Amino acid sequence: MTSDSLWKEILEYGRWAPSPHNIQSWRFRIEDATTVTLLYDPERLLPDTDPSGRFCMVGFGILLELLSIAASPHGLKVVASYEFEDTYLDPKKVGLQPLARLRLVQRDEAEKESFDRQLILDRRTSRLPYDDRPVAAPVLAKLSAVAASYGHLLEFSSDPKDVAWIVRLNAETMFFDMSEPLSRNEVGSWIRYSRAEARRKADGLAAYAMNFPGWLMGLFVKHNWLFRIPGVYQFTRAVYIASMRGTRTVAWISGPFAVHEDWENTGRMMARLWLTMTSHGVYLHPFGSVITNGKAHKLMVDHFSDSAQKRQHDLWMLVRLGHSDLPPKAWRMTLEQLLVD
């Protein structure tokens, strides 16, 4: 192999890492055969809806764990060290900013990787209808164990009343958030309304992957007032809820989520949760609005107050889980686009 070919092989897997709104903030500079500088693009952050950068940093944590898994067939792992002045993502910066050094390090015998890196390529988010099957108890137990190994608590419910309540709360919160110009404009800037636009930009929230027609999403973002008209609001909310039919399991996670180290650790956990799901044919659909909207977040905490005594930390993630047809794959930028000199 040439001095950078191994890194390119590993980074080819990493480019499929999920990120909020598929913003793909990361860039890579290969320094030598064992070292890469990880950079971020301040223009590819979410200053209005994620001002602290915590969810974007979770994305970087997912990336780092997936890179390490991708290196495992070579008996290697990827270790990140924060050697630069800033360890927080700053949307006010200009130009690409260095975040960490990534180094290839030999794995110990005890560190043998349990995941096949093919799962990284197989992993997808599914916003399709699910098939009415609750996620099997042994799978949920595995997911709970993964979360616990990172100091987090994963809770779940397959009670039809809980599931219906969560799906409805998510729909109502999403409609409310999108009625607010700040949220709507930021999210709208990442929506790719046509397949041609999604292919050309190779990023963002592709309408086809969101399971909605591009023209309808265009109306929703650019003429949102229409969807606040009585009758129209109720109808479109019902259509949105119907798009999540067949959901039989919802899950939520609580854990340390206050500082940079927490967010990276959380991302590493999410990577392993997601690959565990993928290995069992389970998909997830994140309900981010419920977490970031203060009122909805409190409603959810109050709704599941019976289990609150088990939690040592606040809730930071809510998802629906299930089985569906193979969902469409969102575009990613090519490795050449992510590499910098």
The verdict on residue 332 lying in a domain is no
Supply the range of the domain harboring residue 141. 137-322
Q: Are residues 273 and 144 part of one domain? A: yes
Domains identified in the chain, total number:
2
Query: Between β-strands 249-254 and 153-157, what pairing exists: parallel, antiparallel or unpaired?
Result: antiparallel
39-48, 82-91, 330-339: which has the minimum mean pLDDT? Answer: 82-91
Tokens of 328: 């469409």
The verdict on residue 327 lying in a domain is no
Q: Are residues 276 and 185 part of one domain? A: yes
Query: Across-strand partners of 155?
Result: 252
Q: Are residues 149 and 16 part of one domain? A: no
The model's pTM is 0.96
Q: Which pLDDT belongs to residue 204? A: 97
CATH number of 252's domain: 3.40.109
The verdict on residue 77 lying in a domain is yes
Terminal C-alpha separation, the chain: 20
Q: Are residues 85 and 199 part of one domain? A: no
Q: Are residues 161 and 212 part of one domain? A: yes
Q: Are residues 180 and 53 part of one domain? A: no
Q: Are residues 216 and 84 part of one domain? A: no
**Overall average pLDDT of the 92-105 stretch:** 97
Of 122, 150, 177, the residue at which a domain comes to its end is 122
Q: Are residues 266 and 156 part of one domain? A: yes
Task: For residue range 33-69, list pLDDT tens digits in order.
Answer: 999 999 999 999 999 999 999 999 999 999 999 999 9
**Overall average pLDDT of the 149-158 stretch:** 97
pLDDT at residue 2 greater than cutoff 90: no
Decide: 68 and 78 in contact? Cβ < 8 Å.
yes
Q: Are residues 249 and 290 part of one domain? A: yes
The verdict on residue 335 lying in a domain is no
Decide: 316 and 284 in contact? Cβ < 8 Å.
no
Instruction: Kindly indicate the confidence band of residue 1, based on its pLDDT and cuts at 50, 70 and 90.
Output: low
Q: Are residues 245 and 310 part of one domain? A: yes
Q: Which pLDDT belongs to residue 110? A: 84
Q: Which pLDDT belongs to residue 336? A: 98
Side by side, the strands of the sheet bearing 76-81 are 26-30, 35-40, 97-106, 76-81
The verdict on residue 286 lying in a domain is yes
Q: Are residues 145 and 113 part of one domain? A: no
CA atoms of 165 and 162, how far apart (whole Å)? 5
The verdict on residue 339 lying in a domain is no
Task: For residue range 170-197, list pLDDT tens digits in order.
Answer: 999 999 999 999 999 999 999 999 999 9
Name the nearest CA neighbour of 157 among 247, 223, 71, 271.
Answer: 247
Decide: 261 and 267 in contact? Cβ < 8 Å.
no
The verdict on residue 55 lying in a domain is yes
The verdict on residue 334 lying in a domain is no
**Overall average pLDDT of the 252-260 stretch:** 96
**Overall average pLDDT of the 244-250 stretch:** 98
Of 87, 122, 157, the residue at which a domain comes to its end is 122
The mean predicted confidence, pLDDT, of the chain is 95
CATH number of 74's domain: 3.40.109.10
Q: Are residues 95 and 214 part of one domain? A: no
